[in-house]
Amino acid sequence: MAQRGRRRRVGTAAAGTLDFAVLLQPVDVMRYDFVPLPDVARWGVLVPTADGALAGKSVLTVNDLKHMPLVIHHREGLQREFGLWAGVDMDEFDGSATYNVLNGGPSPFVTSGLGCVVTTDDHLDGGESADVRFLPLDPPLKTRCALVYRRHVALSKSASIFLKQVKRSLQSMHESSGKE
């Protein structure tokens, strides 16, 4: 049971309240050490289904994106990757807002009219509103995730064991995929 007057704080890897976090690459290597994870995520945009201009589209191009308000991740590294993919400066887009974590899902951003959410398909849990749909970028923009932990900070014994096991499991996966 929650106590009155107490607020639950959500920890972050940067604040030192979490040992690990899973982040989209690229990772800030000045702040974090990381282990690349094998899954590949595809970037796209969550758009309103009622938008007639998007009705026949199955993908979105750079030119499509220049004409819509965008809600994009706030991390500079991810914005830089998006700009490199687009081949244009980020100022050419209508950035209506930024986000860090899409708690509760990104649909409300879109349905409220705030903007279309630039995100990866793995951030969608399938529980999105019927009023939105995900359109992948064309040409495709893909990224990997990474298990990150703070640089120059001693890990606890249990965190060290966990990290060794993750690395061992990933190495085993890599070796078995090379034999097939």
pLDDT digits 0-9 by tens, 115-165: 999 999 888 877 677 888 999 999 999 999 999 999 888 999 999 999 999
Confidence band of 36 (pLDDT split at 50, 70, 90): very high
Can you give the pLDDT at residue 1? 36
The per-residue pLDDT for 69 is: 93
pLDDT at 3: 38
CB 48 within 8 A of CB 71: no
Residues 90-109 have pLDDT tens digits of 888 888 888 887 766 788 88
Q: pLDDT value at position 12?
A: 52
Smallest CA-to-CA distance from 130 within 105, 147, 150, 148 is with: 105
pLDDT of 178: 66
Summary mean pLDDT of the chain: 84
Who's near 54: CB < 8 A, 6+ residues apart?
47, 48, 60, 64, 135
* Interatomic CA distance for residues 56 and 123, integer angstroms: 24
**Do 138 and 57 contact (CB within 8 A), yes or no?**
no
Q: What is the dihedral of CA 138, 47, 102, 1, to 10 degrees?
A: -150
- The per-residue pLDDT for 179 is 54
More confident of the two residues 69 and 52: 69
Per-residue confidence band for 15, with pLDDT thresholds at 50, 70 and 90: low
pLDDT at 14: 55
Six token digits for residue 71: 């809600």
